[in-house]
Structure 1
Amino acid sequence: MKELYLQKLKEEFVPALGCTEPVAVAYAAAKAREILNQSPDRIEFHVSGNIFKNGMGVGIPGSGMVGLTIAGALGALGGNPMAGLEVLDGISPDIVELAQTFVNQGKVQVDVKYGVAKLYIECICFKGENSGRVIIQDRHTNIVLAERNGFVIYQNNSKSATDAVLSMKDWSFRSIYEFINTVDIADIAFIEKGVKLNKSIAEEGLKGNYGLQVGKSMMINIRKGILKEDLMNRSIMLTAAASDARMAGSAMPVMSNCGSGNQGISVTLPVVVAAEEFKVSNETLLRALALALLVTIYMKSFVGQLSALCGVLLSTAGAGCGITYIMGGDFKQMGMTLQNMTGGVTGMICDGAKYGCSHKIAASVSAAIQSSLLAMNHNCLNGMNGIIDDDVEATIRNIGRLANEGMEVTDEVILKTMLEKMKKVS
C-alpha cells in the first residue's frame, strides 16, 4: 500500500489559486479557448447544480468580483491552460478589465444542466462560426471531451464515484495508521510545501479585511483579553483566517486536498498549531499530517467530490486524528476521535462556496479538537449513537451513505433556494 498511499497524497494535495469550483470553470474555459485557437467573442457554460452553488458567492482572485461568469471570462481570455488549478495565476490587470467588460456586456452565459454528474462543467468558446468545446467531469481537471467545430479531438471516459471507491477497496483506517508509522520521512517531505502555503494565507487573512473576518475577529478579541490564545482558539483563528482570505478572492495560492482549498486548509493548519503547541519534532508533524490527509481522502472516497454534506467535516475529522497522533494517542484513540467527530458536526450542509465558509470551518475545527481531547481521555461515542457504528470502518461508510442517499433531496432544495434568490436579485 505504500506506493498507492504516496501516489494518492501527491495527486490530492496540490496547489490551487482561488476556490476550486470557479477555478475549474476557468480551467475549462482556458482549454476551450486553446482548442478554438483564438480569443472568443462569447462564452457559454452548462454546469451541474453543485458547481453552480459553489461558484455563486465566492470571490475570484484579482477581479474584485464574485461568481462563475467572471471566473469563466478570466479563464477564456487569459488563463493558462497548462496550469491546472493555478490557471488564473499571473492574470494581468488588462485581462481583468477585459473580462469585467465581457461579463457586463452579457457575453458570458451560465446555466444549470440537470441529469449530469455532480461535478460537471461544459464550456463552449465561440468566435464567429467557430467553436471550441470542453467537458470536465467527476474531478476538477478531468477533461472527458474536447471538440472543435463539432469534431471530437479528444475523448476519455472518466471514473465514476463508484469506480473511485472500488479503486480504494484495499484502503482501511488501520492500514493508513500503519503506513504513517513506517513510511520513510523523506517520502512525505513534500507535505511541507502545503504547510508553508496555508500558513502564509492564514497570516494574510489576519492582516487584511477579508470576508466575514472570522479569524481576524478572534485575533482582536485575543488582544483585548476576551479570549485566550490557546490550542483551540489559535487553531480556529488561523484556519478561519485562511478561509476568510481565500473565499474573498485573495490572489495567494493554497494547498488543496481532494479538490478543495478549504479542506486543504482545515486538514493542515489545526495539526500544525497542535505541533507547535506540544513542541513535537518535524518528523512527528509530517506523519500526523500524512495521517490527517489520508483519512480525509479515504472518507472523501465514500462521499464524493461534491455533496450537500459540507466537506470540512471530513477534513477536520482527519485533522482531529492528526492532533490525537501529535498528543501521543494510539490507534484506538484515533478511532475514538473519528467516532466523536461523527457525533458532532455531521450533517452540516454545503450551500455553496462563500464568505460564510470560514464560520463553518471555525465550528468544525472546534469540534475536531474537542473530539480529540475526549479520545485522549478515553471518552467515545458508541454504536448506540445515531449513525455511529462501533466499527470505525462502518462509521466512515455510514457518513458516505448519509451524503449520497440521505442528502440528495437536501441538495435539490439548496439549489432551488439559491436559484430563486438569484431571480429576486435580477
Structure 2
Amino acid sequence: MEENKISMILEKELVVALGCTEPVAIALAAATAKKHVNGEIQEVMVKASGNIIKNAKSVGIPGMSGKGLDFSAAIGVVAGNPDRKLELLEGLTKEDERLAFKLINEGKVKASQSDSPKRLFIEVTVQTDQQSARVIISDNHSNISLIEVDGKAISRGGCENLGVASEGEELDKLSIDEIYEWVIQTDLKNLALVKQSIDLNKVIALEGLSGDYGLNVGKTIQQNVQKGILSDDLATVAMSLAAAGSDARMAGSTLPVMANSGSGNQGIAVTLPVVGVAEKLQVSEEKMIRAVALSHLVTIHIKSKFGRLSALCGVTVAGMGASAGIVHLLDGSLQQVKGAIQNTIGNVSGMICDGAKAGCAMKVSTCSNVAVQSALLAINHQEIQSTDGFIHEDVEKTIDAFCTLGNEGTRQTDELILKLMMEK
C-alpha cells in the first residue's frame, strides 16, 4: 500500500466528536433537514435502526438533561449546526434545551424503529407549514446518503465535507503486517492526528478522574489504588484512565474526544490504555505515539470487517488494538503483536452491547485490563493456540472468524437485546 494511503485512512477514521456518536448522528440528520426548510416546524419524524436506538436511548448529551431519540432530534433542529459535523452540539445553552423540550411537549417530535436492514440507519423528516425535508444517514455516523426537499432529491450518496468512511477497497488491503511496518517506519509528522487523539482523550480522562460522572469507574479504581486495596500497576493505570474518559463521555461531558471508526468510546479505549501504560513505563513521546498509532490502525482494520454497530461490544475491538500498542511499548516483535491480538480475541469476543450508557465505562475498564494481560502473555511467548475455540494460526483468519461471529452469528441476539431494553 502506498505510504499516503494509511495516512488517508487515519484522516477518515479518526474524527473529533462531541458526545456519543449515535444521538449526535440523529441530531446531525435533524439539523441538516432543518437547514433545508423554511417556516414554522409542525412535525419532526425520526426513524432509526435498532442498533442506533440501543445507543441513543440512555446516553447523556453534552451539557443537557434530555436523552433519547426525540430529544436528540429536537436539539438538532433547534440548535445544531450541520456544518460542524460530529461537533454540531458544541455550545448548547439552557435556552436551546428549553426549546427542544417545548417541541417534544407540543407533540411535534415522533420517533420509531426503521424497517431498514442496515444496522446504522437514521431517517429524519422535518415538516414545516411551508416545506418538508427528509435526510438519511447510513453506514457511517456522518454519511448523509440522501437529502430530499419537498419530495425531490437534491443530494445522494454522501454529503460534501462530512467525512464519509474510508473506501472499502482501501481497508480491505490492510493487514497487521503492513500496519506494523508502516507504524514503525513512517515519519512522525504523519502521526499528528494520532498525537491529537492522545491530547484530546487524555483531557476528558482527567476530567473523569477529577469530577463526578456516571458510575465513576475510573475514579473508583484510582481511589482504591490510593487506599492500597488495588496495586499501582500497568493494568490499573490503563483501566482507570480509560474508564474515566468513558465515565465523563457517557454522562454528557462537554469535552470532545477523538473517535475511532465512528465511536468515541472506541477512540477512548484505543488510546488511553496505551497512554496509561506508556506513562507508567516512562517511554519516550515518540514511542507512545507510534504505539497509539498501532492501536488505532489495528482497531480500524478489525472494525472495517466487524461493522460499525453490532450485537457485540465494539470496545472489545479497541482492546485488541490496545493490546497491540502495549506490546510495542514493551519492545515486542510483530509476532508478539499478533499473539496479543489473538489472546484478546480469545478472551472478550462474547461481550454483548446493550446500548450506550454509564455502564460502558465498566466494559472499557474490562477490555483495558484484558489488553494489558494479553500483551504480557504475548511478551512471554504465551499465545492461544489454533486448536482452541475459533482461533486460527493466522491472526487474519482469527479476525475474520471473530467478525463473522459479530455480523452473522448475533442477529437474533441483537433483536432480543433491543426487545429486553424496550420492555423495561
TM-score, normalised on structure 2? 0.96
Q: Give the fraction of aligned pairs with identical amino acids, expressed as a percent.
A: 46
Q: Which amino acid aligns with 1:31?
A: T
CA shift, 1:256, in A, is 0.6
Give 3-state SS (helix, strand or coil) of 2:155's partner. strand
Residue 284, structure 1, aligned to residue 287, structure 2: yes
2:196 to 145, 168, 193: 193
Aligned to 1:239: 242
Corresponding position of 1:111? 112
> Could you report, residue by residue, the CA deviation over 1:99-134 in whole angstroms, capped at 9, with x for unpaired residues?
122223332111001233110000011112521110
Q: CA deviation at 1:338?
A: 0.5
The CA RMSD measured in Å over matched residues stands at 1.6
The structural deviation recorded for 1:365 is 0.7
Structure 1 residue runs without a partner (length 5+):
422-426
Structure 1 distance, partners of 2:89, 2:258, is: 15
- CA shift, 1:204, in A, is 1.0
Measure the CA separation in 1 of the matches of 2:41 and 2:63: 21
The answer as to whether partners of 1:312 and 1:361 remain within 8 angstroms in 2 is yes
What does 1:84-99 correspond to in 2, within 5 Å? 84-99=85-100
2:390 aligned to 362, 387, 400, which one? 387
Contact 2:17 2:258 in 1 (8 A): yes
Aligned ranges 1:358-397 → 2 under 5 Å: 358-397=361-400
Which piece of structure 1 moves more, 130-139 or 220-229? 220-229
CA–CA separation in structure 2 for the residues paired with 1:261 and 1:50: 16
Structure 1 residues 411 and 359 mapped into 2: Cα distance closer, same or farther (>3 Å)?
A: same
Is contact 2:219-2:244 (8 Å) kept? yes
Among candidates 186, 193, 205, match of residue 208 of structure 2: 205
Please list, as runs of the form range in 1=range in 2, the aligned pairs for 1:221-370 lying within 5 A after superposition.
221-370=224-373
Cα deviation for residue 157 of structure 1 reads: 7.1
Contact 1:39/1:76 (<8 A) preserved: no
For the Cα contact (< 8 Å) 1:60–1:70, is it kept in 2? no
Q: Distance in 2 between matches of 1:240 and 1:157?
A: 34
Q: Kindly indicate whether the alpha-carbon contact (under 8 Å) linking 1:164 and 1:301 is maintained by their aligned counterparts in 2.
A: no
| Counterparts of 1:232 and 1:157, CA distance in 2 | 41
Distance 1:302 1:196 in 2: 28
Task: Give the aligned residue type for 2:25.
Answer: A
> How far apart, in 2, do the equivalents of 1:6 and 1:326 lie?
22
- Between stretches 276-285 and 265-274, larger displacement belongs to 276-285
Moved more, 376-385 or 122-131: 122-131
**Which residue pairs with 2:132 in the alignment?**
131
The number of residues matched between the two structures is: 418
Question: How far apart, in 2, do the equivalents of 1:49 and 1:23 lie?
Answer: 16
- Deviation of 1:221 after TM superposition, in Å, equals 1.4
Unaligned segments of structure 2, at least 5 residues: 160-165
Work out the CA distance in 2 between the residues paired with 1:225 and 1:73.
47
Cα pair 2:144 2:158 within 8 Å, conserved: no
Partner of 1:28: 29
Task: Provide the C-alpha distance between the structure 1 equivalents of 2:58 and 2:73, rounded to a whole number of angstroms.
Answer: 14
Q: What amino acid maps onto 1:11 in structure 2?
A: K
Deviation at 1:67, TM superposition (A): 1.4
2:373, 2:238 → 1: CA distance?
Answer: 12
Letter in 2 for 1:386: G
Aligned-partner Cα distance in 2 for 1:157–1:180: 30
> Residue 62 of structure 1 aligns to which amino acid in structure 2?
G
**Equivalent pair of 1:258/1:305 in contact (CA under 8 Å):** yes
| Residues 39 and 299 of structure 1, relative CA distance in 2, 3 Å threshold | farther
Write the letter of the residue equivalent to 1:127. Answer: T
Cα distance in structure 1, aligned partners of 2:67 and 2:387: 44
1:75 is the counterpart of 2:76: yes
Give 1:236 deviation, angstroms. 0.5
Could you tell me whether the CA contact under 8 Å between 1:30 and 1:81 is conserved in 2?
yes
Within 2, Cα distance between the matches of 1:397 and 1:53?
A: 25
Secondary structure in 2 matching 1:18 = coil
Residue by residue, what CA displacement relative to the aligned partner does 1:54-105 show, whole Å, maximum 9, x if unpaired? 1011011111122122111111111011011001011222111111222233
Residues 353-411 of structure 1, C-alpha deviations (whole Å, 9 max, x = no match):
01110011111111111000000100010111111101001011111100111111111
Aligned counterparts of 1:256 and 1:245: Cα–Cα separation in 2: 15
* Partner Cα separation in structure 2 for residue 353 and residue 164 of structure 1: 27
- Secondary structure of 2:145's counterpart equals strand
| Equivalent residues of 2:260, 2:266 under 8 A apart | yes
Determine the C-alpha separation between the residues in 1 that align with 2:211 and 2:260.
24
Q: In the alignment, what sits opposite 1:419? A: 422
Return the alpha-carbon distance in structure 2 between the equivalents of residues 313 and 418 of structure 1: 21
SS at match of 1:310: coil
TM-score, reference length from structure 1:
0.95
More displaced stretch, 275-284 vs 20-29: 275-284
